[in-house]
Every structure is written in structure tokens, then in C-alpha cells.
Structure 1
Amino acid sequence: MVLYFKARSEVGDYTIFMGIDKHENEELIKYCFPEDIWFHVDKVSSAHVYLRMNKGQTIDDISEGLLEDCVQLVKANSIQGNKMNNIDIIYTPWTNLKKNLSMDVGQVGFFNSKLVRTVRVEKRINEIVNRLNKTKVERKTDLKAERDALHASEKAEKKQQMREKKRREELQKLEKERLADIRSYKGFMVPEKMTSNRQIASASNSFKELEEDFM
């Protein structure tokens, strides 16, 4: 089961979520989305909390209010951290999480420690935690199916973009050829439209004969 929360409305439409236990956390580590940001209390046990950013957004797009909601939820879901003041909470893009076979269930490392950020949380703010808990929804989610659907959607979108690109390139090529034809007067040199001097002379004679018959 995955627990979902809604961030404060003034920061936008954002979902914060976490696994109900360490085994669900393991699934989240494998099947989160590229835009997801991972949160955890530093050096002590806590829930693995994720923030789903909008497509195209990065960790740099997290507003102050949105960050506060995330870190308060992390603190509230740490047995040790919830009792302590002035704790550090770390966060990093999901893509920076590293997992290998020697690690325990729910344990993670980082590919690049420079991408891990730290924020100091002085104390629990009950007003924020209570507001978030009122939005909590527990849902059984097929995380792999969600990821597969995302990949299929992204693949279809990429194909559509390639088709549009090819179509634009073909139109540009045709327009370029059309302009080249105009500049070279190619359209005026079509054999069917050309008239020889003999044809002109023959036409003149025919007109003269008609004129004599009329007279």
C-alpha cells in the first residue's frame, strides 16, 4: 500500500507519497518516476517520502512552502526524528538513488553525493502535519504498471514528435524546391508551352490565306 498526501493548494497541484512499510519502500525505489524527489531524515530511521514534481520540473523548482510540507511529513514519520528538534533532512532526485544487492531492504545509497541537499528542521509543526494527514489516502498501487504506462505514453509521444518533425522537413524541402524552380524560370521552359519560329511563320501564312479568301 502507498500513502498519498496533497500539498498545500497555494503551491500548486502536488502529490507527496510514501510506502506503508520498508517492503513498499523497496518497490518505490524501483518504480518511481524521473521527476520524483526522495526525502529522508539524515542518519536516523524514517519513512521514505517522495514528492512528484510536474513533468519537466527539477529539484530546483521546489518552492519554500512545498519543501516545508515535505520535510514536516518526513519528520512526523520518523520514530526518532519526530521526538527530536533541529534535525537534518536530506533530499535528492529519485534518479540519484543507488541500490545494490548488499543493501538491506529499504536501504539506499547515492550515485552522486553532490546532488544530495540538506535542510534543517527546528521542530515539528503540528498545523502542517495535521493538514497533510487530512488529505491522506491509502491506495493499493501497481507501481510497475504505472511505470510501464508512463514509458508507453512517452514512447508514443516521441513517435508523434518524430512524425511531426519529418512532416515539417518534407514541407520545407518542397518549399525550397518550389522557390528554386521560380528562381531558375524552370516553369517557363516547359516544352509543351514553347513555340518555334516555323510555327509562328505557319500561323502567319494561315491568317493571310484566310484574309484572301474573305476578300
Structure 2
Amino acid sequence: MVFYFKARPEAGDYTIFMGLDKYENEELIKYGFPEDIWFHVDKMSSAHVYLRLHKGQTIDDISEGVLEDCAQLVKANSIQGNKVNNIDVVYTPWANLKKTASMDVGQVGFHNPKMVRTVKVEKRINEIVNRLNKTKVERKPDLKAEREAANAAERAERKLQLRDKVSN
């Protein structure tokens, strides 16, 4: 089960999503998209929250409002983190997540620690969490099939671009 949320409407059409549990997180880690940004409460147990950026966007394109939405959602879905103030939320591109065989289910590391960013969350803002929860939709996606379809579409696009280059 994956939970999907809509970021604040004025920020544009962004989807935020998270897994039900550590096993779902494992699937999200495995079948992420290059446009995904991963969020987690630093040094505490929490949900893995993802923001799907639009093609061509990078971590630098995340607006303050969308960043706040993701950070609040992570905090609200951390048993420890939801109880305390002044927590750090770390975030990084999905491609920077590193998974090794020796890691526990749902646990990740980073290929490049310098690509990990931190945002301070002073306190839970119920208005944000409640607004996000009103947009919550539960789905059981076939993450592997979605990823394979995206890969096939990318290959077809590259093939088309190559064909256009050759014919010009």
C-alpha cells in the first residue's frame, strides 16, 4: 500500500508519496524514479517520504512551500519525531540512496553524503499535516511495472531523438 498526497496547489502539481511500512519502503527504494527526492527524519525512525519532481527539475527547484509540506509529512509520520520539536529532516535525490545486502529492511545509506541536505523542522504544523491528509489516497501500485514503463518510454524517446538527428 502506497499513500499519495498532493502538495499545496499554489506550488504546482506535485505528488508526495510514502510506503505503508518498511517492506513497502524497500519497494520504493528499489523502483524509484530519477525525479524522486527522498525525505526522512534524521537519526530517528520515520516514514520514507518521496517527492516526484517534474522531468528536468532538480533538488534545487523545490520551492520552500513544497519542502515544508514534505518535511511536515515526514515529521508527522515518525513516532519519535512527531513528539519532539527541532528535528532535522534529511533529503536527497533517489539516485543517491545506497542499499547493500547487509542492511536491514527499509534501511538505506548514501552514495555521496555531500548530496544530502537537511532542513530544520521546529514544530509540527497541524494545518499543513491536515491539508495533506485530506488529499491522501491509498493505492497498491505495481512499482516494478511503473518503473519498466518509464524506462521503455525513455528508450523510445531517445530512439526518436537519434532518428531525428540522423535524418537531419
Which residue of the partner structure matches residue 16 of structure 2? 16
Partner Cα distance (1:131, 1:3) in 2? 14
Which runs of structure 2 are paired with 1:129-208 in the superposition (5 Å)? Answer: 129-168=129-168
Distance (Å, rounded) in 2 between the aligned partners of 1:60 and 1:98 = 21
Q: Would you say 1:71 and 2:71 are equivalent positions?
A: yes
What is the root-mean-square deviation in Å for CA atoms of aligned residues? 0.4
Q: Structure 2: how far apart are the matches of 1:56 and 1:131?
A: 28
In 2, the alpha carbon distance for the partners of 1:80 and 1:27 equals: 24
Quick one: percent identity of the two aligned structures?
Answer: 80
Residue identity opposite 1:24 in structure 2: E
Equivalent residue, structure 2, for 1:207: none
| Alignment correspondent of 1:116 | 116
- Which amino acid in 2 is paired with 1:150? A
TM-score by length of 2: 0.99
Report deviation, 1:91: 0.3
After superposition, the C-alpha distances for 1:151-180 in whole angstroms (9 at most, x for unaligned) are 000000111101111111xxxxxxxxxxxx
Q: Number of residues paired by the alignment? A: 168
Where does the alignment leave 5 or more consecutive residues of structure 2 unmatched? Answer: none
Question: Which has the larger helix fraction?
Answer: 1
Match of 2:43? 43
The offset of 1:145, in angstroms, is: 0.1
1:32 & 1:3 partners in 2: Cα distance?
15
**In the aligned structure 2, how far is the partner of 1:132 from the partner of 1:77?**
12
Pairwise CA distance, 1:12:
0.5
Tell me which of the two structures has the higher relative contact order, counting C-alpha pairs closer than 8 angstroms and 6 or more residues apart: 2
The SS at the match of 1:13 is coil
Give the aligned residue type for 1:15: T
Paired position in structure 1 for 2:27: 27
- Distance in 1, Cα, partners of 2:157 & 2:42: 39
Moved over 3 A (4+): none
Is the strand fraction higher in 1 or 2? 2
2:17 is aligned with 1:6:
no
Distance 1:6 1:79 in 2: 23
Give 1:150 deviation, angstroms. Answer: 0.2
Cα deviation digits, residues 188-208 of structure 1 (max 9, x gap): xxxxxxxxxxxxxxxxxxxxx
CA deviation profile, 1:74-108 (whole Å, cap 9, x unmatched): 00000000010000000000000000010000000
5+ long unaligned stretches in structure 1: 169-215
